[in-house]
Amino acid sequence: MLRMTILASLLALSTAAPVLAQTMAPSLDQPVTITFYNYNLATAGLGAEATQKLIDEFMEANPNVTVEGIGYSSADGSRIQADLAAGMPVDLVQTVFSDLDFSVTNFGARALEDIAPAEEIAAHLEGMHPNGTKLGVLNGKTYGLAYTFSTPILFYNADLFRAAGLDPDNPPQTWADVKSAALAIEEKTDAEGFTGGITGPGAVDWLFQGVVRSNNGEVISRDRTTLKFAEPEAVEAVTMLRDLYDAGVYENYDFAGAIDGMASGNLGMYLQTSALQGSLVAGAEGNYELRSSSMPRFGDKPTRPNNSGSALTIHTADPLKQRAAWELMKFLTSEHGYTIITSEIGYLPLRPAIVTDPDYLAGWVAEHPLVAPNLEQLDRLEPWDPMPGPNYRQIGKTMMDAVEMSVFGGADVAATLADAQANAQALMP
């Protein structure tokens, strides 16, 4: 009851006054401090150092702006909710794409078209990949500027492939190939075959959405009113994952277990966000040869990968703070910003031209072939669909709990998904 009261109050605050177009200050001609809620800052192994480096560079270039970086958990927006309720300034937020709808409705995220000059928006978006920029659009307006995001990557241990009699130059392309390779690794080495970041604490549903889509299914209808994760295509996708587990080749590792397995050389393949590239490279260095491939497909069906990651959303109503937040957003998503984000974290560069530009990423890409599958999948990337309404997290959790029970818990796949879908549909707005 208290939570709903807080949400209602926040919604009232965010909608009490009309939003006027292009309200931000024209320049940063006086000192201003803004808060930047950023989940990478909360995780040392997931870009905290690179993010702080960019913030420091921005403040050096803009001496009138002080940026207070605040680390928070991307799996739980309670920190932002509590700070807003307490009247604390929440100016700029790194918002997970699945939270965008809720952030607009309850946290007062503002459309760029309503606060920034149209010519500035157009100039900044020039050169950015359209498959990226559309990810922050909701109801026809840009509430989030696509920032850090990635695609699902199949990381694999080339040394284990050789030991198992497999060709590391021809990694698995289909889920059937994954099963065959994992069986060979299990049979001919002391290592485990495969794991994926599809389920488990913190996994949410971004990777699962891509798996289902790649079997020509959906977890939610295009108009985001009807859940569809119990339909035949989704059931078939989950049944495939269950088959991997029943065959003894899909290890039910949590996040830490999977990272440790890869670092120790005791895990053959790991399907996970490319954002872990830096961490996995560090673990493999001096131990084995780490390689990467694209997301596995179902037979001849083309994969339909969707993104993980975040957008930058402005929440402040103060014109000067809006200008400071907008300038920081532009800096973080500039050619230089994406050079740091890609090379030091592992996220995709949303400015494709820098990949071949010697002033930015060309040299790094030549030395780091692991990024190639991530870049290839960008051209067919599909959005991570956010669940609607105030119960969006519970809807997603209901779905993913059912998937986990179906794959690892021995439950009947079709019946479990159907029951979960009925329960989750009742939570839809």
Domains of the chain are 32-150+308-380 (3.40.190.10), 152-306+387-426 (3.40.190.10)
CA quadruple 255, 144, 88, 324: dihedral, nearest 10: 120
**250-275 burial string, b = 16+ CB within 10 Å, else e?**
bbebeeeebbebbbebebbbbbbbbb
Instruction: Please state, in angstroms and rounded to a whole number, the distance separating the CA atoms of residues 175 and 404.
Output: 18
CA 299 vs CA 114, 196, 362: distances in Å: 46, 19, 34
How do the pLDDT tens digits run along the chain, 429 residues long? 333 333 444 444 344 334 445 689 999 999 999 999 999 998 766 789 999 999 999 999 999 999 999 999 877 778 898 999 999 999 999 999 889 989 999 999 999 999 999 999 999 999 998 888 888 898 899 999 999 888 899 999 999 999 999 999 999 999 999 999 999 999 999 999 999 999 988 788 999 999 999 999 999 999 999 999 999 999 999 999 999 999 999 999 998 999 999 999 999 999 998 888 878 988 999 999 999 999 999 999 999 998 888 999 999 999 999 999 999 999 999 999 999 999 988 888 999 999 999 999 999 999 888 888 988 888 888 888 889 989 998 999 999 999 999 999 999 999 999 999 999 999 999
Query: Can you give the pTM of this predicted structure?
Result: 0.82
Residue 313, both tokens: 């959303």
Return the H-helix or E-strand segment holding 94. Answer: strand 92-96
Q: How long, in residues, is the chain? A: 429
**43-56 burial string, b = 16+ CB within 10 Å, else e?**
beebbbebbbebbe
- The strand ranges marked E within 141-245 are 141-142, 145-150, 152-157, 192-196
Instruction: Please state, in angstroms and rounded to a whole number, the distance separating the CA atoms of residues 177 and 399.
Output: 27
Residue 41's Cβ-side half-sphere holds a number of Cα atoms within 13 Å equal to 19
List the end-to-end C-alpha distance of the chain, in Å, as a whole number: 18
